[in-house]
Amino acid sequence: MPRTDEPFALVILGASGDLTRRKLVPALWSLYAGRTLPEPFAIIGSARSEASADEFRRRMRATVREFARVKPPSENVWDRFASALSYVPGDPADPALYAKLEAALREMEGARPGPANRLLYCATPPSLYETIIGNLGASGLARPQGGWTRIIVEKPFGRDYESARALNRQLGAVFREEQIYRIDHYLGKETVQNLLVLRFANTIFEPLWNRNHVAEVQITVAEALGVETRGTYYEEAGALRDMMQNHLLQLLCLLAMEPPVTFDAGPVHDEKNKVMHAIRPIDPRKIDEVALRGQYGPGFVEGKAVVGYRQEKGVAPDSRTDTYAALRLLVDNWRWAGVPFYLRTGKRMAKRVSEIAIRFHRTPHMIFHRDPSGVEPNELVIRIQPDEGMALTVAAKTPGPELKLGTVGLDFRYGEVFGAEPPEAYERLLLDAVHGDSTLYARADWVEHAWSLLGPVLDAWAQDSAAQPYRYEAGSWGPAEADAFISRDGGAWRKP
Ligand code: BG6
């Protein structure tokens, strides 16, 4: 990541929340320690609770020690970073807060050379977005003040098509589209970016990347974690809203899109949108053919006994929230017609693993075996996390006098090849926002389209008459019914 020296100030609204603690400040610190954060910079945290700048710095120091990729190397370096941190307490609903923020920004900007570049980060619960956006507009904070002003909006971006549209409209009334950065942290993951490099910086894959060669695609984002402390949020969300509408559909679009003319925001967003347009709309009368939901019961994850979802804090004892969701989507265009895309995500699954698996057709005629089913078709697996890398399986002759075939993997592991630990997604994305590059962010129309695609499923699952989610044991690969769901096409879920 190139280092540029353009001063900026970041205002984090929601600075006492989990996101600031676990992701934002650790990412900013790692960038700073890696000498990639433009300087001079200032970070203003803001939240309701009263605290002094020193208290905020102390809290952030503990946070960085716990969560940052790069640990503080010395007090000296930390002190320099910490001197850029300040704290402005206040209620986001109170216009007085925005006057205080403006004054704090002006003071900092007056004390250093360079333009007033401002990045505003909305890291509060989404119920506050409307109020915050309104106040940013009314106070004048949304308007550039001689430099650039940008806003990053965290997910969830709405909870359905209507609310996402309303949020886009509110944002659009106050900011121009090029000021708005809708974050999806999956797009900042190294291996997700590598998917694009794999596709568009090599010639050998592109000729195979279509229905003539690909039989099926499986996208899996499995988590071993449960809902942790977020039961109340999760009850309102569920796996389809929390993961599928954003992370998994983004992966599908990057995998399926046509080559953009350049790797810039406009062309990349246009190509992703074309995929969204090509996904076959879900027929409300045939939801069960396209979507399946599950909910974890008690079980064992990584050797530890864990409670079921309904026993989690903040969860209703008769909750119907989906902690597992699977979709079967078709992309109706020349490249992908007839190729099923299976997407699944779940909490409390056997292990944490995110991957994209592309299964190719079987050989048209197998000359080595009377029974061709003994030979697995080629498969390309892109491992997003953990153990980032990719593997291609090919058939090979096993050693010995007989001509017997086996499947071997050509395996590439990031850690082994490049050694260095990849940066966290938030590092990349924060830096991109500072540099004004929204390629790895979500555009308004994409977000709305993703919600509208899933609308029929969300509606069907919200009905009182809908069947209960299928149960699966915590620590398993999801409900047994998911196997029947995929086997209709003759396939089976991978066990990564
Ligand atoms: C978030 C979801 O967007 O992604 C969480 O809200 C989920 O529920 C998280 O745990 C997973 O992210 P990662 O980077 O750990 O795969």
Domains and their CATH numbers in the chain: 8-154 (3.40.50.720), 187-424+469-487 (3.30.360.10)
With bands split at pLDDT 50, 70 and 90, how would you rate the model's confidence at 374? low
The rounded distance, in Å, linking the Cα atoms of 57 and 79 is 9
Choose which residue among 241, 247, 426 to substitute to test ligand 1 binding: the one with the highest number of ligand atoms within 8 A of its C-beta. Answer: 247
Instruction: Report the nearest atom of ligand 1 relative to the CA of 352.
Output: 16
Average pLDDT over residues 189-197: 91
Neighbours of 373 (CB within 10 A): 8
pLDDT, residue 372, reads: 55
The rounded distance, in Å, linking the Cα atoms of 446 and 122 is 20
Q: Give φ, ψ of 178 to 5 degrees.
A: -70, -5
Closest-CA residue, ligand 1 atom 13, reads 186
Catalytic hit among 185, 247, 269, 449: 247
Q: What is the pTM of this model?
A: 0.95
Q: How far is the CA of 366 from the centre of ligand 1 (A)?
A: 43
Q: How far is the CA of 65 from the centre of ligand 1 (A)?
A: 21
Q: How far is the CA of 350 from the centre of ligand 1 (A)?
A: 16
With bands split at pLDDT 50, 70 and 90, how would you rate the model's confidence at 179? very high
pLDDT, residue 75, reads: 85
pLDDT, residue 201, reads: 95
Q: With beta carbons less than 8 A apart as the criterion, state whether 367 and 384 touch.
A: no
Instruction: Report the nearest atom of ligand 1 relative to the CA of 189.
Output: 14
With bands split at pLDDT 50, 70 and 90, how would you rate the model's confidence at 490? confident
Tokens of 87: 């704290």
Instruction: Report the nearest atom of ligand 1 relative to the CA of 225.
Output: 10
Residue type, 442: A
- The yes-or-no answer on residue 247 being catalytic is yes
Of 74, 80, 84, 5, the residue nearest 44 (C-alpha): 84
Instruction: Report the nearest atom of ligand 1 relative to the CA of 237.
Output: 6
| pLDDT tens column, 80-98 | 999 999 999 999 999 999 9
Choose which residue among 243, 246, 322, 323 to substitute to test ligand 1 binding: the one with the highest number of ligand atoms within 8 A of its C-beta. Answer: 243
Closest-CA residue, ligand 1 atom 5, reads 242
Cα three-residue angle 220-224-225, rounded to 5 degrees: 120
Q: How far is the CA of 185 from the centre of ligand 1 (A)?
A: 8
Q: How far is the CA of 404 from the centre of ligand 1 (A)?
A: 43
Average pLDDT over residues 364-390: 83
Q: How far is the CA of 295 from the centre of ligand 1 (A)?
A: 17
Closest-CA residue, ligand 1 atom 4, reads 243
| pLDDT tens column, 248-289 | 999 999 999 999 999 999 999 999 999 999 999 999 999 999
Least confident of 35-49, 198-212, 411-425: 411-425
Of 360, 393, 358, the residue nearest 256 (C-alpha): 358
- Per the prediction, the chain carries an average pLDDT of 94
**Ligand 1, CB within 6 Å, residue ranges:** 155, 185, 223, 242
Percent of the chain surpassing pLDDT 90 = 85
Q: How far is the CA of 85 from the centre of ligand 1 (A)?
A: 27
Of 433, 418, 420, 436, the residue nearest 34 (C-alpha): 420
- pLDDT of 373 strictly over 90: no
Q: With beta carbons less than 8 A apart as the criterion, state whether 186 and 251 touch.
A: yes
Closest-CA residue, ligand 1 atom 2, reads 242
Q: How far is the CA of 288 from the centre of ligand 1 (A)?
A: 26
pLDDT, residue 336, reads: 98
Task: Tell whether the torsion through CA atoms of 468, 357, 261 and 281 is positive or negative.
Answer: negative
Average pLDDT over residues 134-154: 96
- pLDDT of 4 strictly over 70: no
The rounded distance, in Å, linking the Cα atoms of 119 and 101 is 12
pLDDT, residue 229, reads: 86
pLDDT, residue 1, reads: 46
Residue 27's H or E segment, with its range, is: helix 25-33
Q: With beta carbons less than 8 A apart as the criterion, state whether 350 and 225 touch.
A: no
Average pLDDT over residues 110-122: 94
Closest-CA residue, ligand 1 atom 9, reads 243
Choose which residue among 185, 312, 348 to substitute to test ligand 1 binding: the one with the highest number of ligand atoms within 8 A of its C-beta. Answer: 185
pLDDT, residue 82, reads: 96
| pLDDT tens column, 291-342 | 999 999 999 998 899 999 999 999 999 999 999 999 999 999 999 999 999 9
Place of tokens 């992701």: 23
295: left (phi > 0), else alpha (psi -120 to 50), else beta? beta
Q: How far is the CA of 184 from the centre of ligand 1 (A)?
A: 10
